[in-house]
Structure 1
Amino acid sequence: MDENTALVLALQLVALFSIAGALLLYLLCKIRNGGAPDVLDAGVPGAGKPVLVTSADNAIGLQIALHLASRGFRVFAGLRDGAASGSCGDSPSARVIRAWQKHRESAPAPGVLVALPLDVTREDLLHEAGDIIRAHLPAGEDGIWAVVNTSGLSFRGRLDQQDISHWDAMLKTNVVGILRTARKFQGLLRNAKGRIITIGATDHLGAGLVAYMASRYAVEGASKALRHEFSPMGIQVVTINPQGIMPELLFSAPKINSTEGKETSVDMSGVMEYQPTVLSKRALHILDVAITTRKPKCSYSLEEKMWCKPFEILKIV
């Protein structure tokens, strides 16, 4: 065998092994995902699909509301500021939302972002939010695709020094608030075969979080029970775990970035510059998985590594 023939044969073998390796990797990913793409049918979550984010008053809620609206969903974002008067107030979150809305008026896109007064500890505002959502749904529709529970409180402090009123406030908002919300919106969720997204516990993030972590593990327990109770209705319950992110950051109030004497800038997507943003691009991608896949897992870590990419998230044009 001459040198040229050997070289050609070697290249052919390399190409053959490369194809075999790619095929094997593809099959492994398919097997891991149950043998079929686990993505919703085209157009199911698409432009205008209604989603409620229970609180945009905090960093995680505002970022999720803006992200989903930019993805093409019809997002209803709860704001406590001004709830007593029935308005959405002039909080930093409200200003960011209004800037996004104003930008979309000049640059139309499928997504919609509607702010509404909402406090998950108040039955009257939960009832009012349901009425507002129904009023904004297209004619003939009476369902909501997802409820993302971002309402939350976090207080850090040694157990023997912490004010017990802080415990009560965390349990009332973090745990009972989810139950109130689930009860109020289960009808709309049932009509759309929708899903509830809750925020669970994270890794240990230092001392002083006993009461907070108790409330988060209670959320995980409640989510598991809700999953069993709501499954016959076609409602799915998914818990996301924001691993490694300090709860004080997750539930901190956003602040507008501004320089004295200068206007606050707005980026190309219409988002007024604010801080903090707490979820990475990978975390937002995993959130998309939890919201758009036909058969989501019971829980996701927002920092988990996805070695295979067994399905594509529905692209909303």
Structure 2
Amino acid sequence: MQAIASQAMDEQTALVLAVQLVALFSIAGALLLYLLCKIRTGSVSELSESAPGAGKPILVTSCDNAFGLQIAIHLANRGFRVFAGLKDGEASGSSDDSVSSRVIRGWQKHRESIQGPGALVALPLDVTREDLLHEAVDIIRAHLPAGEDGIWAVVNTSGVSYRGRLDQQDISHWDAMLRTNVVGLLRTARKFQNLLRNAGGRVIAMGAADDLGAGLVAYAASRYAVEGASGALRQELAPAGVKVVTVNPHGIQPEMLFAAPKLKEKQKQLETSVEIGGCLEYQPVLLTPRALEILDVAITARSPKTNYTLQEKLWAKPLQLLRIV
């Protein structure tokens, strides 16, 4: 009888311990979930109107691609004065029927009708052309309020990519990628260095993603060159108060990053389109709302990290997610 009673007590004790362990893990899980939510919302709280840079001028170097166009319109909607770089004819009017130009004009018209904050100014810009970079500086200075001579951020969205096996790819494609992706970044940083210094601004460069796949050896080389150049540039410009930040568009193939936007057809209501203030809609839309929040932090945080990942990895564990917010 004593053995039976002892066994029953042991089973009861084990059951109590199991219930306690389940309760303990449930509490720990709830605390971890609460911490994650606080961190995610906390990063967004940095984007208040009192944050440095709010409402200030920002240059997005290329809005000819869907990536740059989405960023420019997002920042303009947040109240920044955004200068949207377009290839030489598209901003000057000789070829103003491009999708990017039409979307920008639609946004401007809508913003005028509601008299909302923010501004979007198209200007001719090609990061491979020194003359257009020089002209862009003059245009931006002419649009700055009296007494101001600085720009808060230069967001480098210019780039090209060519996919192909290394032993079959045309070497001219290598030259084009290095000239635009790497040298274009350096040209832009040098040309806008004084304006950035005057405002204590920052350079936002597009870094490397770790999931490019086959056929992008030369493109990957150009992106990792940007990472290395950004690190050296960060040290060089730090004494002048200019920050350098890289953002990694994880999960977005280069062909999509640099794809020209297309207007959404009314007959094809695709989920990948976006409505711009009730005006024109275009596709593809590459950055999720969460990715745009992370970009906002990179642009407005008082002490930004050196690197941000714009797209969360689906396989990331909770502790890994802490590192990207």
TM (normalized to structure 2)? 0.79
Q: Is the 8 A contact 1:87 1:117 kept in 2?
A: no
2:219 matched residue in structure 1: 212
2:306 matched residue in structure 1: 298
Shift of 1:168: 0.5
Equivalent residue letter for 1:166: H
Instruction: Classify 1:51/1:85 alpha carbon distance in 2 versus 1 (closer, same or farther; 3 Å).
Output: closer
1:140-167 CA-to-partner distances (Å, cap 9, x unmatched) read: 1100000000000010011111111111
Shift of 1:256: 1.0
1:200 matched residue in structure 2: 207
- Of the three residues 81, 94, 116, the one matched with 1:109 is 116
Q: Is the 8 A contact 1:99 1:270 kept in 2?
A: no
Distance 1:79 1:147 in 2: 14
2:13 matched residue in structure 1: none
Q: Is the 8 A contact 1:69 1:113 kept in 2?
A: yes
The 5 Å alignment of 1:126-205 reads: 126-205=133-212
2:82 matched residue in structure 1: 75
Distance 2:90 2:188 in 1: 16
Equivalent residue letter for 2:221: A
Equivalent residue letter for 2:158: S
Q: Aligned pair count? A: 284
The list of structure 1 runs, each at least 4 consecutive aligned residues, that deviate by more than 3 angstroms after superposition, is: 37-41, 83-88, 265-268, 304-310
2:264 matched residue in structure 1: 257
Equivalent residue letter for 2:199: A
Shift of 1:266: 8.8
Partner SS state of residue 225, structure 1: helix
2:125 matched residue in structure 1: 118
The 5 Å alignment of 1:237-256 reads: 237-256=244-263
Instruction: Classify 1:43/1:295 alpha carbon distance in 2 versus 1 (closer, same or farther; 3 Å).
Output: closer
Distance 1:88 1:126 in 2: 19
TM (normalized to structure 1)? 0.81
- Of the three residues 86, 89, 93, the one matched with 2:96 is 89
Return 213-222 or 270-279, whichever deviates more: 270-279
The 5 Å alignment of 1:21-36 reads: none
Residue 279 in 1 paired to residue 279 in 2?
no
Q: Is the 8 A contact 2:150 2:199 kept in 1?
A: yes
Residue 288 in 1 paired to residue 296 in 2?
yes
Distance 2:274 2:154 in 1: 28
2:241 matched residue in structure 1: 234
Partner SS state of residue 82, structure 1: helix
Equivalent residue letter for 1:179: L
Distance 2:85 2:299 in 1: 18
Larger Rg: 2
Instruction: Classify 1:224/1:266 alpha carbon distance in 2 versus 1 (closer, same or farther; 3 Å).
Output: closer
Q: Is the 8 A contact 1:238 1:296 kept in 2?
A: yes
1:216-263 CA-to-partner distances (Å, cap 9, x unmatched) read: 000000100100000000000000000111010011011112358xxx
Measured on the aligned residues, the alpha-carbon RMSD in Å equals 3.2
Equivalent residue letter for 1:281: P
5+ residue gaps in structure 1?
Answer: 1-13
Instruction: Classify 1:137/1:270 alpha carbon distance in 2 versus 1 (closer, same or farther; 3 Å).
Output: farther
